[in-house]
Structures are given as structure tokens and as C-alpha cells.
Structure 1
Amino acid sequence: MQPRIPRQSAQEQDCRPPAVGVDDARLSDELAAVVSGARRRAVRDGDRQIDTAHLLHSLLEHDRDVYAVFGDGPQIARLLGYLVQRTIGYGLRWQGTVEDSGAVPVVRDGEGFSPLAASAMEAACRRAVRRGGPRAEGIDLLAAIVADPQARAVEVLARAGIDANELGARIDARSDGRRDEYASDGETAR
């Protein structure tokens, strides 16, 4: 009798994020776990690279702050449904293609992040620096992902009835509130 879940190779079980120009030290532990989850999802899905939809799915699974930005209701349920459908075949039309907006050179080595996902990871690290954080967090990555209208994650959000611009505004409002909290605690707000 065959096992229902295929065994992962040692490479697939590796929890380190793929090296694609994002220094692991610049990621919070939670965000490193998100990247590892997205990597495993990409491998399971048979995709060549981690794309923004893999990152979004993993963010929702692993980061409570990100999940909270979406709130409860039918839209989050629909979003999770689309992401699960993608895992079981919804994204087949994307297999074998590289997620690319044309803004950065395409890396076709078959490993790591898609160009848009790599760009989002770098933008998340820059956002963390701007907010005065020592490391990028999941909310930084979500903000970077929804800022690019060409991202596959933004397409999935739109199919679920979630406006990426409105989501970005909610993220910014939450971030502004956090900066105010830090300032009232006697720390310097940036």
C-alpha cells in the first residue's frame, strides 16, 4: 500500500529560505518560517519558483498579524478557498512560467523566488528599515506584495473580492498606529 502523502526529500525538508539575495538575518523568525512554508508549497505544487501567491498563502497560515489585517468574513474564506484551489490545480496555467512584471531581470535558474517575489522580499526589508524595525516581518512582506499590481497574489486577492489598494491602506494605517505606540513608550518613532 502506497503512503497517501509522498515523502519529501532532504532538500524539500530543509527549512532554510532559498538564497536569492535576501539576507536571512534581515528576516524575523516568523518571516523565515513563512518563506520556508512557501518554498515547501512551491515544491509540492510542482512550481519552478516561489511566487507571491505562495508567499501570501504561507503568510496567512503562519502570521496572525497578517491574518488580522484581512479580518473575518466571507472575503477571507473566499481567499483561502482560492489559495487551496490553486494548490490542487487552480494555478496549473502558471506552471512553467515565471512571475515577472518586467521591472527586474528574469532569473531562470529554476530555484528560489520569482522576480516579483524576490522584489517583494527586498521591499519588505526596506520597509522594515523605514519603520525602524530590526528585521522584516510578515506585514512588511504583505505590504510589498499588494503594492505590485502584476503580482499573482494580487490577482488571487482580486478574484476573492479583496482590493489590493484598500488592503495596502489598512496595512499602512496599522503600521502608523504601531509607530505611535512605540513613540508613546519612549522609543523613537521613524
Structure 2
Amino acid sequence: MARMVAGARRRALRDGDRQIDTAHLLHSLLEADPEARAAFEDGEQPARVLGYLVQRSIGYGLRWQAGAEGVPGPNPVPGWSPAAVAAMEVALERAAERADPRAGGVDLLAALAADPDCRAVEVLRRAGVDAELLAGRLCAALRRA
């Protein structure tokens, strides 16, 4: 997870964004974690998602720079969107339910896909991924693990 967070931070800085958002987390996660890429139902979906994220990073996502992702109000972690903080917290909670002290990439992918209002879900939808179905399938698999 540390490598994935570092990648998301670099991506946010390179994109000129004020904070790490859920799309940065998704991008870094899919690049860094083969288990997260393998969690998709269709083997072509991760490539489509990454393709959309690359397009976003070279300009299609500029409209997102106008505002912060997440709910209005104080930001719990400076440099992170509230939705990104919430996704990381949910990933840690999922790991704790399994008595695992560390969250994995699939925990984070499940948390991202389960938030219908985050940018990561917008990216998943635009790439043709049913985020709700993905979240449900991952949550069920994580409960069995």
C-alpha cells in the first residue's frame, strides 16, 4: 500500500491537483497491484480503466481541478480528498474484519468501487465497469477470505 500511496501522491503533483483523490488512488493501485488488476471480471477492464485514467492525466480531467472531491467542510487529512481518506479507512476496516493488520489492494479497490459519488467510480463507469457489481463481488470474496 505504501508504494501505491506514493504513486498516487506523485500522480496528483504531476497532474497539478491540490490533493490526492480517489482517481489517483485507483490509477496507482491498478499500476502497482497485480491482485487488484486480476479482481476485475473481464481481463480487458483494467486496461480500459488505465486508458481512461491516462487520458484524464493528460487533460480530460482538467474540469476536476476546479473543485475538491468529497463533501464540503473541513478536510480530515490535508492533501487528501475526504473521499480518498474514507476509502483508505474502509480498506483498513475490511482488513481488520479479517484480523489482518494491513489492508491490501483488493480491500482498497472494493472501498473505491463501493462509493458511488467518488471520482474513481466515475472513471470505472466511463471505462465500462459496473462499479456496484465489482464492489459487491469483492466484498463477498473478502468476507470469505
Answer yes or no: same fold by TM over 0.5: yes
Q: In the alignment, which residue of structure 2 is the partner of 1:107?
A: 75
Cα distance 1:108–1:144, how it changes in 2: closer, same or farther (>3 A)? Answer: closer
- Does the Cα contact within 8 Å between 2:76 and 2:82 map onto a contact in 1? no
Q: Which of 101, 107, 127 in structure 2 is aligned with 1:160?
A: 127
Name the count of aligned residue pairs. Answer: 144
Give the distance between the partners of 2:48 and 2:74, measured in 1 at CA.
Answer: 31
Cα distance 1:108–1:166, how it changes in 2: closer, same or farther (>3 A)? Answer: closer
Identity across the alignment (%): 59
The code of the aligned residue for 1:107 comes to: N
Q: Which of 131, 135, 156 in structure 1 is aligned with 2:102?
A: 135
Cα distance 1:108–1:172, how it changes in 2: closer, same or farther (>3 A)? Answer: closer
Q: Which of 38, 49, 53 in structure 1 is aligned with 2:8?
A: 38
Moved more, 142-151 or 39-48: 142-151
The code of the aligned residue for 2:54 comes to: V
Q: Which of 76, 85, 96 in structure 2 is aligned with 1:118?
A: 85
TM-score, structure 1 as length reference: 0.71
Q: In the alignment, which residue of structure 2 is the partner of 1:182?
A: none
Shift of 1:46: 0.1
Question: How well do the aligned residues superpose, as a CA RMSD in angstroms?
Answer: 1.8
Higher helix fraction (1 or 2) = 2
Cα distance 1:162–1:101, how it changes in 2: closer, same or farther (>3 A)? Answer: farther
- Does the Cα contact within 8 Å between 1:124 and 1:137 map onto a contact in 2? yes
- Does the Cα contact within 8 Å between 2:30 and 2:46 map onto a contact in 1? no
- 1:89 pairs with 2:68: no
- CA displacement, residues 80-105 of structure 1 (integer Å, 9 cap, x when unaligned): 11100011011100113110145xx4
Shift of 1:60: 0.2
Give the distance between the partners of 2:31 and 2:140, measured in 1 at CA.
Answer: 22
- CA displacement, residues 107-141 of structure 1 (integer Å, 9 cap, x when unaligned): 298x4210100111111111110122111111111
- 1:67 pairs with 2:37: yes
Which consecutive unaligned segments of at least 5 residues does structure 1 have?
Answer: 1-30, 180-190
The code of the aligned residue for 2:47 comes to: A
Give the distance between the partners of 1:122 and 1:37, measured in 2 at CA.
Answer: 18
Give the distance between the partners of 1:136 and 1:151, measured in 2 at CA.
Answer: 20
Q: Would you identify which runs of 4 or more consecutive aligned residues in structure 1 move more than 4 Å?
A: none
Which consecutive unaligned segments of at least 5 residues does structure 2 have?
Answer: none
Give the distance between the partners of 2:95 and 2:27, measured in 1 at CA.
Answer: 21
